[in-house]
Homo-oligomer: A and B are copies of this chain.
């Protein structure tokens, strides 16, 4: 047994074999990967790392496993490993299809996990068992740890959730023969406070306009190197913040140089959720990085300076799916909690797309009215059709009653459940498909605005 002193959970006790795993280069690498990417340029104390977060996730997973009688040891070891696939600066550099879960599993396969086989841990991280849902699910250890930790290290009060009270409310239930994690009725308030914390951290930290600018600059800096074949995407899975920054410095990457001097780009225009039609949202949400770079090239050619386009990714809002369990029934949080519903609305309002330009050019660009027009023009020219099989289905059916029914039709047309859920979520988010709840079932139909453009 060893003890590590953590800023959040204080004493974290470790078994000897866990220590062996921690001492692997895969986990030690996380010491040099900042948990919140370039957030430290806005919140100077946000220098905490994926390493601490991994220990913390292990700690909370352990507590949850105890509460719901899951396999504590398996939950712990898997939690410890859940983030080893991250690129430098964590989520910031998930570019060109980089999937941290894929790289994580690839690494685990090759590791010696002492008392565990790689395959059980991978199975867990794939959420094939209860332990997996403890680490990452609707109410999970990962999220609880990062809210507490990011809030502590940024100095904001927002992420300060009431961990013991959340734990008190957790339970398990059976659904379609699978054991799932749910929340007792008396735990609703604690879960609501988790949602509130997450929402507030999103708006104060994760989506902070300047953090997003810095992140975009770093993304572009690295994309440039990849496109110029100085680096390939896979390399990122082995680098840490140090080797990446030092690589960029040596390449004399001009964006890195600006980041080092904190000479950050400025906001030129922001199009909020309600500034765009559903079709426009859908277009932007589906642009891939190469298309974005093409647009940016057009901007460059017109304005003679960088104009970067930053499109928020669409939030998953998994916590809204939490099941509230009582003797009588099992219901989704969203159905029983007006706060949960409104946070969903608020979350949607945070989504936007923004354009950034260098500090030295911004004044000139902002004062020139033609710039805005030109940008609109370029954005409107995006040649992109609303290709969506689900929209096609609804064009045909007009309205479908029941999510199960909808899935059934989709599967007949060769759409996998995973694709179905993701695309449906995205279409609803963008406002192309309307989802209503008649008290018993969800009803789906096309939005009226499906053909309108108003950028």
A binding-site residues for B, Cβ under 8 Å: 3-8, 10-11, 23, 25, 28, 31, 40-41, 43-45, 47-49, 51-52, 55, 152-158, 160-162, 164-165, 168, 189, 192-193, 196, 199-200, 203-204, 241-243, 245-246, 249, 260-263, 337-339, 341-343, 345-346, 349
Contacts and interface: CB of A to CB of B under 8 A. Distances in A.
The 8 A-B pairs at the shortest CB distance, nearest first, are namely: A342-B342, A246-B246, A7-B45, A7-B155, A11-B164, A47-B47, A338-B345, A157-B162
A7 B45 CA distance: 6
Q: List the number of copies, as a whole number.
A: 4
Contacts of A23: 261-263
Given A5-B154, A339-B343, 4 more contacts: A6-B44, A45-B153, A160-B160, A342-B342
A189 B200 contact: yes
A153 B154 CA distance: 11
Contact of A246 (B203, B243, B262, B337): B243
Say whether chain A's binding surface is mostly helix, strand, loop, or mixed: helix
A52 B44 contact: yes
Given A193-B200, A243-B249, A7 B342 contact: no
A10 B164 contact: yes
A45 B242 CA distance: 17
B48 A47 contact: yes
B246 A154 contact: no
Given A8-B155, A164-B10, A25 B261 contact: yes
Contacts of A193: 157-158, 196, 200
Contacts of A249: 242-243
A7 B154 contact: yes
A28 B262 contact: yes
6 contacts: A5-B154, A5-B155, A31-B44, A157-B160, A193-B196, A242-B242
Contacts of A45: 6-8, 48, 52, 153
Contacts of A168: 3, 11
A155 B200 contact: no
A249 B246 CA distance: 11
Contact of A44 (B41, B49, B155, B263): B49
Contact of A40 (B31, B43, B154, B158): B31
A358 to B, nearest CB: 15
